[in-house]
Amino acid sequence: MKEKTIDYVLRATWMAVSKMYNEEAGKAGSTMSTGFALLSIDPENGTPSTSLGPKMGMEATSLSRILKTMEDKGLILRKKNPKDGRSVLIYLTDFGQEMREYSKKVVLRFDEAVKENVSEVDLKTFIEVANTILSLISEKKIYKEEIKIE
C-alpha cells in the first residue's frame, strides 16, 4: 500500500489535533477531555449527567473518571435534579466557567487558523466528506457482512 488510506489520514490528523489540544490545555493545568466536557455542559442550566456521555460520544466509565477529576479540581458541582430526584445535574463553578471560556478560545483559534489556510470550498467539501463517513458508519453501511479470512 503505497497510498495512505483514508483511515490513516483521519487517524493521523485526529492524533495531531488531540496532541495540540492537550498541549494547550496543559498550559492551564487541564486536558483536552476536560475542556471538551466543560464545553458540553450548559453554563446556565447545567446538564444531566446521563446526557453528557452521549453528547460527548464517551462511555459512562470514562466520563465518570473525568467528572470526578473535574469535581476534585473545583470545576463542577453535582446537584440532584429538582425535576427528577433520581438524576444528577452537572453545573459549572465560577472556576469551571473561566476554564470553559479558555477552552472555547482554544477551539475558536483552531477554527480560525484552519479557515485562514483552507478555502471555503475545500472546507465545505471536507465537512461533506466527514459527514458522509459518519453516516456510512452510523448506518452500518460499511461492514454489512463479515469479512472472511482465507
Look-up of cell digits 485562514: 116
Looking at domain 6-139, its CATH architecture is Orthogonal Bundle (1.10)
Between CA 81 and CA 65 the distance in angstroms is 21
C-alpha cell at 46: 447545567
Tell me what pLDDT residue 50 has.
86
Band (pLDDT 50/70/90 cuts) for residue 85 is confident
With cut-offs at 50, 70 and 90, classify the pLDDT of residue 1.
low
97-130 per-residue burial string, b: 16 or more CB within 10 A, e: under 16: eebbebbeebeeeeeeeeeeeeeeeeeeeeeeee
User: Cβ distance 56 to 41 under 8 Å?
Assistant: no
* Pairing status of strand 76-81 against strand 47-48: unpaired
More confident residue, 46 or 86: 46
- Average pLDDT over the chain, rounded to whole? 93
pLDDT at residue 128 tops 90:
yes
124 — pLDDT class (breaks 50, 70, 90) = very high
Q: Stretch 31-41: mean pLDDT, rounded? A: 95
Number of Cβ atoms within 10 Å of the Cβ of 24: 19
Q: So what's the pLDDT on residue 122? A: 98
Is residue 2 very low, low, confident or very high in pLDDT (cuts 50, 70, 90)? confident
Percent pLDDT > 70 in the chain is 99
